[in-house]
Amino acid sequence: MIRMTDIHEAPPEPASIGAEQIEYLEQLARIRLSGEEKERTARDLSKILDYIEMLGELDTEGVDPLSHPVTTEPVFREDKAVNDDRRDAMLRNAPEHKDGCFKVPKTVE
Amino acid sequence: MSISRQNVETARKTGQEFRSGAVPISEHIEKTISGIQKEEPRNHCFVTLFEEQAHKAAIRVAQKLRSKEDCSLLAGVPVGVDDTMMTRGRRTTCGSGTLEHFIPTFSATAVQKLEDAGMIIVGKLNTDEFSMGSLTQTSFFGPTSHPADETRVAGAAAAAVASGVISCALASDTGGALRQASAGCGVCGIRPTYGAVSRLGLAAFASSMDQIGPIASDIRDCAEILNIISGKDPCDSTSVEIDKIDLSRIDSFSLSGLRIGIPSVFFESDTDPFVKASFHEALDALRSEGAVTETFSLKGLDQAVAAYAVISCAEASANLSRIDGIKYGFRAPEAKTLSEVYERTRSVGFGSDAQKRIMLGNYFLSAERYEEYYLRALRVKALIAKGFASAFRRYDVILSPVSPSLAPKKEPYDTLSMFEEDFFTVPASLAGLPAASVPCGKNPDGLSVGLQMIGPHFSEAKIVGAADAFLRIGGGQKTQGGQK
């Protein structure tokens, strides 16, 4: 079995998530956790990252990343709207709306 | 124990009875809905029932049949739809508190096609929050009970079919949910080739792997439904036209000479002994019909779950950024500023599993980790796809169990173990391959095991043929004693 450290690139830092990192991820994800949730999440994420380390056991040197498994041709269409007007139905799902627009709290002080 | 499968007719037979006039559609729909209502307190398969709409649809379809309008063989047949698929004007929650009261303004293409074919949607089936899971453990509405054991969980579409309240359903499959659900409840399900069914209107979880497919107690019903929902959709540029499955040719499908490959790691994995025994018995049964089995090694399978975890979380974190409390769904009431709206809505609205996956996804896509995790996962995915492609030059189908274990108990779950449960199912998801789950054993407690049949891209007809032939020789019907 090849370990991370056998691979000739610089070994990545240990994949564990600490308090500081959790805060960074909360920021990126726009999610705020309570103190207790923070701890539990850090523990769970670290466990998953530990598991994922095994990606490094496989030699993928020279392999091109694959994003879509079934290749299709580029698809073109006329730049023309085909939807009917569903503004009112859509606005009914909005938490708040006013004059046909989505309403949000003040964004600029 | 509330399985009364012997009374369940196939969807095709029900459709035939409607066409011949032997059974009125309205009456059948009424019976179906009261059957669901009776079982719901125990099973908890449905999030929303469309009682009124279904009755209206029944009248409409009956009229169409009477006037000999062009209708599918399944016209009038009641069907359940996983709640991650949009149903125009009818509540769609995606199993999430963020969308508890959401009413879509359009229907998913697959849903629309069912309704165009005259099928009647009786309600929306429970689902993991935005499909993140397999057996409804992460649903905002609580888990679905396994038909054979109330203390265990089940995928709702399969549980509803297994308990006999509906004969067929649409489900979604990203890392294996549709197959896991089918296997756990002893029914059939097909995850089609990526692109075979339009994803328009399926709430996006991991877009490069999400697919919609049928679940039914009968594999031919699955094929019939797949024929209805598949095909190119101008609104999903990854969708493609595929040949319809010719059901009249299924009877003549022979297992003799069928070349079956089994990746050797699938034998070495940590799998429940009963699952293992059932899988070996299935292989014996296939061999006794003249199929040829061979093991082979496929590079990357050991790492498939890890690659799947990275890719699915990365895509989910991007897809779920749309849940922001502005345009639809829940908004945290106490938020004062725009950024508080985002943060509080997502902190209160999402369940903890979704939050973890979103945070992980952000981590994998962050500038400093992108290469190490995301790109590496895509390279592993490339190796797996290549491995399958070369294996399919030697084999017609690749087999494995569907799940390494029997239906789990209703207990606190753990995100990592949910990923690990998908050990057998994620490889086909990563490679975009079609895969069916067919029942291949049931233990004395009524817990089922599924056999997974994976085929090359667009080989749905062959998979259905092989699955049907396997079921014909009794592969899925026997109840084993648990020995062996």
Task: Map out the domains of chain B as residue ranges.
Answer: 5-252+437-445
Cα B325 to Cα B92: distance, rounded to the nearest angstrom = 16
DSSP A64: P
Per DSSP, A93 falls in state T
- Label residue A69 by pLDDT band (50, 70, 90): confident
Q: Is residue A53 part of a domain?
A: yes
B362 min Cα distance to partner chain A (Å): 6
Amino acid at B12: R
Backbone angle region of A79, left / alpha / beta, with phi > 0 → left and psi within -120 to 50 → alpha? beta
The pLDDT value recorded for residue B483 is 35
Distance CA B264, CA A6 (A): 25
**Tokens encoding B200:** 């328009």
Nearest CA in chain B to A4: B372
Residue B346: list chain A partners with CB under 8 A: 29-31
Asked whether the beta carbons of residue A105 and residue B431 sit closer than 8 angstroms, the reply is no
Q: Which residues in chain A have Cβ-Cβ distances shorter than 8 Å to B306? A: 51-55
- In this prediction the ipTM stands at 0.90
Query: In total, how many domains does chain A have?
Result: 1
User: Among partner residues B343, B359, B419, which is closest to A41 by beta-carbon distance?
Assistant: B359
Burial of B385 (0-12, 13-18, 19+ CB in 10 A): buried
Query: How many Å apart are CA B297 and CA B265, to the nearest integer?
Result: 7
Q: Which amino acid is at B470?
A: F
A39 — contact with chain B (CB < 8 Å)? no
Residues contacting residue B364 through CB under 8 Å, at least 6 positions apart: B310, B313, B314, B317, B370, B373, B374, B377
Is A19 part of the contact surface with chain B (CB cutoff 8 Å)?
no
Mutation to test the A interface, candidates B103, B352, B379, most A Cβ within 10 Å: B379
Q: Do the domain assignments include residue A103?
A: no
pLDDT band at A11 (very low <50, low <70, confident <90, very high): very low
Query: Shortest CA distance to B88 belongs to which of B69, B70, B106, B64?
Result: B106
Q: Determine the Cα–Cα distance for residues B318 and B64; give it in Å rounded to an integer.
A: 43
B358 contacts A72? CB cut-off 8 A? no
- Residue B294's DSSP bridge partners are B261
Regarding predicted confidence, which is higher, A6 or B429?
A: B429
Whether residue B380 and residue A58 make contact (CB cut-off 8 A), yes or no, is: yes
Nearest CB to B378 within list A57, A66, A102: A66
Nearest to B302 among A22, A53, A54 (CB): A54
Full domain range(s) for residue A8: 4-62
Q: Does A62 touch chain B (CB under 8 A)?
A: no
- Closest alpha carbon within chain A to B240: A72
Residue B469 CA to its chain's centroid (Å):
22
pLDDT confidence of residue A70: 82
Nearest neighbour of B382 by CB, restricted to A66, A90, A104: A66
Q: Name the residue facing B341 among A29, A33, A104 (closest C-beta).
A: A104
Please state, in angstroms and rounded to a whole number, the distance separating the CA atoms of residues A84 and B105.
Answer: 10
In whole angstroms, give the CA distance from residue B462 to residue B396.
Answer: 8
Find the helix or strand (DSSP H, E) in which A97 lies: strand A97-98
pLDDT in tens, A13-43: 556 788 899 999 999 999 999 989 999 999 9
- Indicate whether A94 belongs to any domain: no
Say if A86 is an interface residue toward chain B (CB within 8 Å): yes
**B285, B290, B294, B298 alpha-carbon torsion, rounded to 10°:** -80
Q: Give the three-state DSSP class for A89.
A: helix
pLDDT at B223: 98
Tell me what the mean pLDDT of segment A64-91 comes to.
Answer: 86
Using the Cβ of A51 and the Cβ atoms of chain B, whether some distance falls under 8 Å is answered with yes
Q: Is A52 in Cβ contact with B234 (below 8 Å)?
A: no
B358–A31: do the CB atoms touch at under 8 Å? yes
Nearest in space to B328 (alpha carbons), one of B6, B93, B21, B75: B93
Q: Which residues of A touch B324 (CB under 8 A)?
A: 30
Residue B115 C-alpha, separation from nearest chain A C-alpha, in angstroms: 19
CATH superfamily to which B5-252+437-445 belongs? Amidase signature (AS) domain (3.90.1300.10)
| d(CA B483, nearest CA chain A) in Å | 33
User: In terms of Cα–Cα distance, which of B58, B103, B63, B61 is closest to B83?
Assistant: B103
What is residue B6's predicted lDDT score, i.e. its pLDDT?
Answer: 42
Residue of B nearest to A89 (CA): B105
**B415 → closest Cβ in A48, A55, A75:** A48
- Contact indicator for B278, B483 with CB cutoff of 8 Å: no
A28 and B327: CB-CB below 8 Å? no
**Interchain proximity A63–B383, CB inside 8 Å:** yes
A18 touches B at CB < 8 Å:
no
State which residues of chain B have pLDDT below 50. 1-7, 481-484
- Asked if A70's CB is within 8 angstroms of B194's CB, the reply is yes
Q: Which residues of B touch A56 (CB under 8 A)?
A: 376
In a domain, A101, yes or no: no
Pick from A12, A63, A105: CB nearest B335: A105
The DSSP secondary-structure symbol of A31 reads -
For residue B319, give the chain A residue with the closest CA: A29
Q: In CATH, what number is assigned to the domain containing residue A17?
A: 1.10.20.60
Q: Are B326 and A12 a contacting pair at CB < 8 A? A: no
Alpha-carbon gap: A45 to the closest alpha carbon of chain B (Å):
7
